[in-house]
Amino acid sequence: MKKSVIRSIQESLQREFILEKPANLSFGHYATPIAFSLAKELKKSPIAIAEELCEKFLQSDIFQEVTPIKGYINFKLSESFLDKYASWAIANENTFGIEERNESILLEYVSANPTGPLHIGHARGAVVGDALCKIGTHLGYKIDSEYYINDAGNQVDLLGLSLFLSGREQILGISVEWPAEFYRGEYIVDLAQVAKEELGLGIFENEESIATLSLWGKDKMLELIKSNLADVGIVFDNFVSEKALYNKWDESFEKLQKNNKTYKEGDKIWIRSTELGDEKDRVVVRDDGRPTYLAGDIIYHDYKFQRGYDHYINIWGADHHGYIARVKAAINFLGYDEKKLEVILAQMVSLLKGGEPYKMSKRAGNFILMSDVVKEVGSDALRFVFLSKKSDTHLEFDVDVFKQEDSNNPIFYINYAHARINQIFAKANKSVEDVLHVKLENLSEDAQNLLFSALLLPEVLDDAFHSRQVQKVTEYLKNLSASLHKFYNENRVVGSEDEEKFLKLFAMVGVSIRVGLKLIGISAKEKM
């Protein structure tokens, strides 16, 4: 019973085939077009094959009804099967939906420059990546999460310069000339104060200190980023430094040269990325001999593939779309299978407050800080809303909606369903164990449909992970909660003739809400 409903059906019939869900459950729980795919093989009409298969399918105790309709086969699951599955799921909540798979995945996400706090743009990729990691691990994949620290190049040097100039201006009272580019916001002023306390006033007295401030500031910002992530329940397995990996450039460059995938033009060295679909070849070594930003990604992906995972997933901002072809070309030129790399793009987020644009943070300059939004609506609401739409579509939401205690606030609505279940058990003065033995039979159609919906969580998780569309989980939880509320409002539970059946049914709904929320990083509320 550990398997999903679909897998149980397929195994019982010793054949893999497509199962679809009819738009109207009155037609059945599932339908399959298998007869059409077998018609050529068996040299019979789909209608005849469907009728023959129905007789075979009915031999299984999984089905209550099997009906052929114009070559399609509609299934209605038996109450005994649904009851057994529910009994197992309620008693084995921690393993509900878990399977064993032999695929390892390296999942890289966030990878923001360690030059400031995380802003709301970083948060979407962070939440999507963490949810995919949790769901995939639950489904049995071996997933390692990784943060690539972009700590090489001008941005870290610019952080040191910004701290140096801020310290001279704000602490030493010296008039300074700011460059065209610098990091701004109160966090720079605050960080300069911390530098004074930890490194002393002398750190702002001469420009030779900028390099020290750069490294010190980078480490402080990385601590802050880790704290920002922890506030929404995100902890990485690995952190990899771009700067440290540059020591491996000669090794990666040698592979590219050996495979004849570089050439020199002028004083620059180029990679032949147009061979694999890039719009133009790219520079990997500048005319002064320094590796480019792309070279850093080449080294990193060489290091990734050396570790021998079965699959690699990168979650990047949508502005990196044009970067995919050149990185995949480089992976191929290094001698690896570039098809093992999958890139998911996360679009930007627009925030409103009371229908008006959300104010930028003074602490961060021209950005909305993730930490500010978490303080405003809480970690649960932030996670839920960022998972409510496909990651490559634009997302706009009003933070005030997530403060409301009504059905307009989806996370409140779902938590209210879970709390309502607990409240009903308390009102009936019964525990889940008291009703686990009850047979879910002779149920009304509404009760059967609610039970079936609650048992679908493993399939929803599987679909959400493989399609990389975590919003399918949030949508499922909203719909399941709406069905629970509707059923409760239309049926007397406590004190009714079917009280124990309804309690067991509600217990199953509670399991799916708890497990579903947990796998998107949210704890279900026991009472509200």
SS (H, E, C) 80-95: HHHHHHHHHHHHCHHH
Domain ranges (residues) in the chain: 5-77, 109-236+347-403, 406-518
Give the Cα separation of 361 and 363 in Å (integer): 5
Least confident of 2-6, 78-82, 275-279, 433-437: 2-6
| Range picked from 19-23, 95-99, 198-202 for highest mean pLDDT | 198-202
CA distances from 196 to 191, 223, 408 (A): 9, 18, 48
Residue 107 belongs to what H/E stretch?
Answer: strand 104-108
pLDDT at 362: 66
pLDDT level of residue 12 (50, 70, 90 thresholds):
low
Fold annotation for 109-236+347-403: Rossmann fold (3.40.50)
Distance in angstroms (rounded) separating the CA atoms of residues 146 and 156: 20
Band (pLDDT 50/70/90 cuts) for residue 52 is confident
- Say yes or no to pLDDT of 16 above 90: no
* Integer Cα distance of 399 and 372 in angstroms: 11
What whole-number distance in Å separates Cα of residue 47 and Cα of residue 39?
A: 9
Helix (H, G, I), strand (E, B) or coil at 24: coil
Neighbours of 450 (CB within 10 A): 24
Task: Kindly tell me if the per-residue pLDDT of 107 is higher than 90.
Answer: yes
What is the model's pLDDT at position 4?
A: 67
Instruction: Check pLDDT > 70 for residue 64.
Output: yes
Lowest mean pLDDT, pick from 71-85, 193-207, 305-319, 456-470: 71-85
C-alpha closest to that of 5 among 493, 479, 454? 454
Alpha-carbon distance of 89 to 476, in angstroms, equals: 18
Task: Reply yes or no on whether the pLDDT at 332 is more than 90.
Answer: yes
How do residues 484-511 score in pLDDT, each as one tens digit?
A: 999 999 999 999 999 999 999 999 999 9
Read off the pLDDT band of 364 (50, 70, 90): low
Q: How confident is the model at residue 269 (pLDDT cuts 50, 70, 90)?
A: very high
Cα–Cα distances in Å, from 1 out to 86, 458, 502? Answer: 9, 12, 22
- 342-353 tens-digit pLDDT: 999 999 889 998
pLDDT at 1: 45
Cα–Cα distance, 184 to 167 (Å, whole number): 13
What radius of gyration, in Å, describes the C-alpha atoms of the chain?
28
Q: Answer whether residue 316 shows pLDDT above 80.
A: yes
Burial status of residue 56 (CB atoms within 10 A of its CB: 0-12, 13-18, 19 or more): exposed
Are 82 and 440 in contact, with CB atoms under 8 Å apart?
yes
Q: Architecture of domain 406-518 in CATH?
A: Orthogonal Bundle (1.10)
Average pLDDT, the chain: 92
CB under 8 Å to 290, separation ≥6 — which residues?
none
How many Cβ atoms are within 10 Å of 127's Cβ, its own excluded?
A: 29
DSSP, collapsed to helix, strand or coil, labels residue 302 as helix
Arithmetic mean of pLDDT, 17-39? 84
pLDDT at 63: 87
d(CA 178, CA 162): 8
Burial class (CB in 10 A: 0-12, 13-18, 19+), 394: exposed
Q: 365 and 410 in contact (C-beta within 8 Å)?
A: no
Indicate the CATH number for domain 5-77: 3.30.1360.70
The more confident residue out of 514 and 120 is 514
Q: What DSSP line would sit under 368-437, residue for residue?
A: -BHHHHHHHH-HHHHHHHHTSS-TTS-EEEEGGGGG--STTSHHHHHHHHHHHHHHHHHHHT--HHHHTT
Cα distance between residue 388 and residue 399, in whole Å: 14
Long-range contacts, stretch 29-34, CB < 8 angstroms, 24+ apart = 29/5, 29/75, 29/76, 29/77, 29/452, 30/6, 30/74, 30/75, 30/77, 31/69, 31/72, 31/73, 31/74, 31/75, 32/72, 32/73, 32/75, 33/71, 33/72, 34/73
Please, what's the b/e burial string for 337-352 (b: 16 or more CB within 10 A of its CB; e: otherwise)?
ebebbebbbbbebebe
How far from chain centre, in Å, is Cα 425? 33
- Mean local confidence (pLDDT), 128-132: 98
15 — pLDDT class (breaks 50, 70, 90): low
> What is the band of 19 on the pLDDT scale with cuts at 50, 70, 90?
confident
Residue 22: the pLDDT is 81
* Confidence (pLDDT) at 363: 66
Helices and strands: H and E segment counts in the chain: 20, 14
Which range, of 127-131, 188-192, 393-397, averages the lowest pLDDT?
393-397
Section 210-227 average pLDDT: 96
pLDDT > 60? residue 122:
yes
Cα distance between residue 23 and residue 4, in whole Å:
20
- Give percent above pLDDT 70 in the chain: 97
Residue 436 near residue 504 (C-beta atoms within 8 A)? yes
